[in-house]
């Protein structure tokens, strides 16, 4: 009995030692994330060069229209707010493509297609990912945390889901089936490293028009001083319904530059 008691004491002591030596054993990844996101709000000025590339096709199954686009621009966030800077050569290209479209409405454009898609909903994810993640956490349901490796370094993977009740109400009434997962990798300090969202669902409009969809969004992040920025964002969207198809795929890649920004724009 004495030996058994002593053995149990040694086992408990060994377990406690392992827990103390493992830095994340008692960590709360979600709490670390929330604390870190609050610290990544800053008024520090920043400039980023963005290359935005678009691929897409829409139309009836047998008459799909392809659309591709590419544009390079700069985002600056300084004392006077956010500015989107279009280089002189890009402005000239947009004008050239507009003239070409007047002459031939079927002409294929590149910059025009892309510039129409790069809007507030896109650039805010690159400039203010900490704020966007905070907003997402208010709607998401936390599922689990586990240790993982990210780019060869220790990381933590947090997994969430979005209940159908949290979908925007103007779309929610049409959706009957819905599945969502959001995965977020953070380092030991709670700094976001990357994220991936996947969703799929189906529904019906006007009782007779059925549809189904599947979307994904993946991002990588980088901390620059007391600010978090998005370094790459890839979005894939696919919808089918009533003999119509819509596929969108766009990628934003970022290069951070000094502020006030240098003259070069990402090519």
Helix ranges restricted to H, 27-110: 29-39, 88-103
Give the model confidence (pLDDT) of 173-208 as tens digits. Answer: 899 999 999 999 999 999 999 999 999 999 988 777
Give the model confidence (pLDDT) of 18-69 as tens digits. Answer: 434 444 444 699 999 999 999 998 778 999 999 999 998 877 766 777 889 9
Going by the DSSP 8-state scheme, the letter that residue 118 receives in this structure is -
Token pair 């047998």 is at which residue? Answer: 62
Residues whose CB falls within 8 Å of the CB of residue 201, separated by 6 or more in sequence, listed in order: 175, 176, 177, 178, 179, 212, 213
Give 154's strand partners: 149
User: Would you list the domain boundaries of the chain?
Assistant: 29-257
Cβ proximity of 142 and 174 under 8 Å: no
Q: How far apart are CA 161 and CA 143, in angstroms?
A: 7
- The whole-model pTM stands at 0.84
Q: How far apart are CA 99 and CA 126, in angstroms?
A: 32
Instruction: Identify the H or E element spanning 215.
Output: strand 209-224
Answer whether residue 97 shows pLDDT above 90.
yes
Locate 33 and state its tokens: 């994330």
Cβ proximity of 217 and 196 under 8 Å: yes
Q: How far apart are CA 220 and CA 218, in angstroms?
A: 7
pLDDT at 214: 96
> Three-class SS of residue 257?
strand
Q: How far apart are CA 73 and CA 267, in angstroms?
A: 9
Percent of the chain scored above 90 by pLDDT?
64
Q: How far apart are CA 211 and CA 205, in angstroms?
A: 8
Q: How far apart are CA 135 and CA 168, in angstroms?
A: 14
Query: Among 198, 147, 145, which residue's Cα sits nearest to residue 30?
Result: 145
Q: How far apart are CA 58 and CA 9, in angstroms?
A: 68
């Amino acid at each position: 009995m004495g030996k058994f008691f002593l053995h149990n004491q040694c086992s408990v002591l060994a377990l406690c030692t392992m827990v103390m030596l493992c830095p994340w054993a008692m960590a709360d990844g979600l709490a670390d994330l929330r604390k870190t996101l609050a610290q990544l709000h800053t008024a520090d000025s920043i400039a980023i060069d963005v290359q935005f590339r678009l691929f897409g096709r829409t139309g009836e199954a047998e008459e799909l229209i392809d659309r591709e686009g590419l544009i390079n621009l700069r985002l600056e966030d300084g004392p006077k707010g956010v500015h989107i800077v279009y280089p002189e050569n890009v402005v000239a290209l947009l004008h050239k493509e507009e003239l070409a479209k007047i002459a031939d409405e079927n002409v294929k454009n590149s910059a025009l297609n892309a510039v129409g898609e790069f809007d507030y909903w896109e650039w805010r994810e690159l400039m203010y990912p900490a704020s966007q993640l905070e907003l997402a956490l208010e709607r998401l349901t936390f599922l689990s945390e586990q240790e993982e490796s990210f780019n060869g370094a220790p990381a933590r993977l947090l997994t969430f889901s979005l209940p159908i009740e949290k979908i925007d109400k103007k779309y929610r009434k049409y959706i009957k089936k819905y599945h969502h997962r959001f995965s977020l990798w953070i380092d030991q300090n709670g700094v976001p490293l990357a994220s991936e969202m996947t969703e799929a669902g189906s529904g019906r409009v006007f009782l007779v028009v059925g549809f189904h969809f599947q979307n994904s969004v993946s991002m990588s992040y980088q901390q620059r001083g007391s600010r978090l920025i998005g370094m790459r964002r890839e979005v894939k969207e696919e919808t089918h319904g009533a003999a119509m198809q819509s596929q969108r795929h766009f990628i934003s890649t970022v290069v951070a530059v000094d502020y006030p920004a240098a003259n070069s724009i990402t090519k």
